[in-house]
Amino acid sequence: MKRLPLLFIGFLGWMLLSAELSAQSRKPNMVIIMADDLGYADLGCQGSKDIKTPNIDNLAKRGVRCTNAYAASPVGSPTRAALLTGRYPQRFGHEFNPPRDPKIDYGLPLSETTLASSLRDAGYATALIGKWHLGNDVKRQPLARGFQEFFGFLDGAHFYLKTEVAARGVIDTLEPWPNSILRGSQPVDEEGYLTDAFTREAVAFIEKKRQQPFFLMLSYNAPHAPLEASDKYLDRVIGVTGGDHRRRVYAAMISALDEGVGSVQAKLQQTGILQDTLIMFLSDNGGITGYLSPSNNAPLVGTKTELMEGGIRVPMIVQWLGKLPEGKVFEPMVSVLDIAPTVLAAASIAPPKSLVLDGVDLVPSLSGKSTEQPHEILFWRYGSLGAARQGRFKLLQVRNELPQLYDLDADIGETRDLAATNPEMLNRLKMRFEKWNSELVSPAWGKSNLAPWW
Per-domain boundaries in the chain: 28-367, 378-438
Q: What mean pLDDT comes out for the span 53-82?
A: 98
Q: Is the pLDDT of residue 175 over 50?
A: no
**Cα distance between residue 96 and residue 134, in whole Å:** 11
Helices (DSSP H) in 209-300: which residue ranges? 231-234, 245-270
Q: What mean pLDDT comes out for the span 309-314?
A: 98
**Cα distance between residue 8 and residue 152, in whole Å:** 50
The pLDDT mean for the chain works out to 91
The residue among 101 and 88 whose pLDDT is bigger is 88
Q: Long-range contacts for 40-43 (Cβ within 8 Å, ≥24 apart)?
A: 40/286, 40/287, 40/296, 40/297, 40/298, 40/300, 40/310, 40/313, 40/314, 40/315, 41/296, 41/297, 41/298, 41/299, 42/223, 42/250, 42/254, 42/287, 42/295, 42/296, 43/254, 43/315
List the 404-407 sheet strands across, edge first: 378-382, 385-390, 393-398, 404-407
Q: Is the pLDDT of residue 214 over 60?
A: yes
Task: Give the β-pairing of 29-35 and 214-219.
Answer: parallel
Nearest 10 degrees: CA dihedral of 43, 196, 274, 125?
-120
Q: Is the pLDDT of residue 169 over 70?
A: no
The pLDDT of residue 289: 84
Beta partners for residue 318, in sequence order: 64, 280
Our CA angle for 417, 310, 434, nearest 5°, is 55
Q: What mean pLDDT comes out for the span 135-147?
A: 96
Confidence grade of residue 101 (pLDDT, cut at 50, 70, 90): confident
Contact 236, 257 (CB under 8 A): no
The pLDDT of residue 99: 87
Q: What mean pLDDT comes out for the span 285-310?
A: 92
The pLDDT of residue 166: 38
Q: What mean pLDDT comes out for the span 285-309?
A: 92
Residue 107, judged by CB atoms within 10 A of its CB (0-12, 13-18, 19+), counts as buried
SS3 242: coil
Q: Is the pLDDT of residue 351 over 60?
A: yes
Contact 33, 218 (CB under 8 A): yes
Q: How many CB atoms lie within 10 A of CB 266?
A: 13
Q: Is the pLDDT of residue 16 over 50?
A: no
Q: Is the pLDDT of residue 6 over 80?
A: no
SS3 150: strand
Q: Is the pLDDT of residue 170 over 50?
A: no
The residues near 367 (Cβ < 8 Å, ≥ 6 apart) are: 323, 324, 325
Confidence grade of residue 449 (pLDDT, cut at 50, 70, 90): low
**Cα distance between residue 73 and residue 88, in whole Å:** 9
**Cα distance between residue 347 and residue 118, in whole Å:** 10
Confidence grade of residue 448 (pLDDT, cut at 50, 70, 90): low
**Cα distance between residue 153 and residue 157, in whole Å:** 8
Confidence grade of residue 179 (pLDDT, cut at 50, 70, 90): confident
Q: Is the pLDDT of residue 1 over 80?
A: no
The amino acid sitting at 108 is L
Contact 134, 169 (CB under 8 A): no
The pLDDT of residue 390: 98
Task: Give the β-pairing of 328-330 and 64-70.
Answer: parallel
Looking at the chain, the whole-number percentage of residues with pLDDT higher than 90 is 82
Residue 452, preceding peptide bond in cis (omega within 30° of 0): yes
Nearest CA among 156, 433, 452, 413 for reference residue 310: 413
pLDDT single digits (tens) 27-56: 999 999 999 999 999 999 999 999 999 999
Q: Choose the weakest-confidence range: 64-73, 129-138, 351-360.
A: 351-360
Would you identify the CATH topology of the domain 378-438? Answer: Arylsulfatase, C-terminal domain (3.30.1120)
This prediction has a pTM of 0.92
Confidence grade of residue 18 (pLDDT, cut at 50, 70, 90): very low
Residue 174, judged by CB atoms within 10 A of its CB (0-12, 13-18, 19+), counts as exposed
The residue among 327 and 240 whose pLDDT is bigger is 327
Contact 177, 171 (CB under 8 A): no
Superfamily grouping for domain 28-367:
Alkaline Phosphatase, subunit A (3.40.720.10)
Confidence grade of residue 10 (pLDDT, cut at 50, 70, 90): low
Task: Specify the DSSP class assigned to residue 241.
Answer: T
Q: What mean pLDDT comes out for the span 315-330?
A: 98
Nearest CA among 187, 189, 188 for reference residue 162: 189
Compute and round to an integer the Cα radius of gyration of the chain: 22
Does 378-438 match 28-367 at the fold level? no
Confidence grade of residue 215 (pLDDT, cut at 50, 70, 90): very high
Give the Å distances, CA to CA, from 79 to 21, 232, 314, 320, 435.
Answer: 38, 31, 11, 23, 22
